[in-house]
Amino acid sequence: MSDNTTPSPSTPAADSPGVKRWPLIIGGLALVLLVLGGLLLRYVVTAPPSGPLPGLEAPPANAQGRDIRHPDALIESASLARLPKELLEVPLLRDTLTEDFVFYYENDGDRLGLAGSLRRIVYEHELTLKDNLVEELLDQPAQVALWRGADGRLRDFLVVMKRGGLARLLEPLAHLAADDSQLRKVGELKGGAGVYRLRYNGQKTLLFASSGDYLVLLSNPKMLFPRAAGDEMGEADAQAGADLAALLGGDDEAFPRAFGLGPRGELSQRVSLGAGALTMGYQRFIPAFAGVRFDKDAKGWNSYLALNPVERQPDLDFTPVWQAMPMGASACVALPLTPGLYDSLLVRLGAEQKMAAAFSEHLSGAAGLCWYADSRLYTPLLVATLSAPPGPELDADLGRLFASLVGAYEANAEGGNFPVDEQRQGETRKWLRQVSSNFGQYAAADAADPDAVSGRGFFRVGLARQGSTLLFSLDDQLLDKALGTLDKRFPPLADVLPRDALVPAYLAPQSLSTLLQRETLESLPQDLEPVFRNAADSLLLPRLKALAGHGGYALGLPAGSRAEQPWQWLPLQWRAL
């Protein structure tokens, strides 16, 4: 059995070291957390500048202009109905999600509403369609392509399936379009395939078209009709119509090609997530990262990471990050940095062009983010590496950049901000600033001047440089612990990670469970949120406690991995620690 294969629960080797037991979604979750942490400076500590950042890939405000040929995520399934249950074959998900996960998706409101609408149509028009038509549709081989909505979440979807024996059952629906309140024909594709609108759950709308042995479903009419509003569809987009016609013509490899993949073959499930679905629009700043993928075969789940070749991209090496990270982290993730990509971002945030260009050129290697149970979910530690230790001029620029980016308006502070405390000790430079916040880890009473704090608490936000290592955190205690690690006064996370692999992620479920339980309880005080708190106590906390029963894991790539072509898929190896 390969290192990157997850055995079924009954496999004796499931608990042996070196065997991956981890599931779908975890890699994606870690990457999303990385981006969330990277945004803390902009959205928690600093008032965000107006307008989008240069180069920031924002998802479209609606489905108009959606490129149907390039989805953000793709599910290829031998049976969509079996997907939730097959996820629970992974020990971690089986223990943390339980059968409630399957029950939820089998009783989803949209699914039940769609089934109810079809049953009404069948009954009123005295058709012979089966009552469990939706269930039969979900039990067919299908591809589900998904796109981000305005909030960055995967919202719009397109389903392509071979109808097979269902073609005869679905045909009567087309003849009802003229006289049914919920179903009507709204257009026609090249080749003569009719497009039909089905309304369900009040105002929700589904489009479908069929031709030959293929059926296509669209969750958002604007994917085909950009000016759709209510019952009025408007004119169809020519390119989208041509793409749909190609799918109906049998081009069932169009979506896999967009992810650098071939046919699904014997896999029962294949789930691919592009970087756009995981990086909240910041893919431009991590161009080497293409996406993640999870396959289910007869032996279990396998996971993969996709990389893109990038000019001037150094060889992958996450070791400097883990040597600076203190031991005891709950979860960590690291990604490669590419020199010269970040000057426009820094300028938009207030840096001078010359300084931004120089600093951007120095960023190289990798950056990593770790969360700790003795800190907060929103105060991770960021470690980045420079190509060489900067000189005094760049250090001075770092201090000015920190002062301009970190802070908020303080009504009671002289000058509208608390001063930056700049410290130097040997080769170490450190900048600290007090920032008022109701979410701060220190109470206002602990400040040198409590009356100057404009909230219930405050942060001591810190940036530090030692040699070619940069450290940043909203929690100054994590910063000091990292400096102690660099001074060899505290053990690094590298001591517990495998040395014969590239490790982009680390998980310690017991520590992570402690962190998530505390955040849950503090965000749902019993006196203010009694209903949600009771639900969390009875449903969420037991699952988090089950999470604590799992050992730590390092996620690794084979040593020497690199991208030689776009969408270079590399196997991920989950190693028990």
Other C-beta atoms within 10 Å of 91: how many? 19
Give the mean model confidence (pLDDT) for residues 255-275.
92
Judged against a pLDDT cut of 90, whether residue 430 lies above it is answered with yes
How does pLDDT run across 62-102, given as a tens digit for each residue? 445 568 889 998 989 888 778 777 877 776 565 555 444 33
Q: Annotate 468-504 with DSSP letters as a single string.
A: TEEEEES-HHHHHHHHHHHTTSS-BGGGGS-SSEEEE
User: Residue 355's pLDDT is what?
Assistant: 77
pLDDT at 559: 84
| Cα distances (Å, whole numbers) of residue 554 to 18, 108, 179, 263, 376 | 10, 35, 59, 30, 22
pLDDT digits (tens, 9 = 90+) for 126-135: 444 444 555 5
> Nearest to residue 160, comparing CAs of 232, 105, 214?
214
Contact 304, 2 (CB under 8 A): no
Full-model pTM = 0.76
Pairing of strands 214-218, 154-162: antiparallel
Show the tokens assigned to 531: 């209903």
Q: How many residues does the chain have?
A: 577
Residues 573, 22: Cα–Cα separation, whole Å: 10
* pLDDT above 70: residue 61: no
**Average pLDDT over every residue of 413-433:** 88
Higher pLDDT, 456 or 108: 456
CA atoms within 13 A on the CB side of 396: 4
Q: Tell me what the pLDDT averaged over the chain comes to.
A: 76
Residues 143-173 have pLDDT tens digits of 888 888 877 778 888 888 876 544 445 555 5
Average pLDDT over residues 6-17: 32
Report, as an integer, the average pLDDT of 310-335: 91
**Within its chain, how far is the Cα of 277 from the centroid?**
6
Residue with tokens 């109905």: 81
Say which residue, 365 or 490, is predicted with more confidence.
Answer: 490
Q: Give the residue with greater pLDDT, 179 vs 333.
A: 333
Residues 92, 300: Cα–Cα separation, whole Å = 13
**Among all chains, which residue has been given the structure tokens 């940095």?**
337
Helices and strands, number each (H, E), in the chain: 19, 22
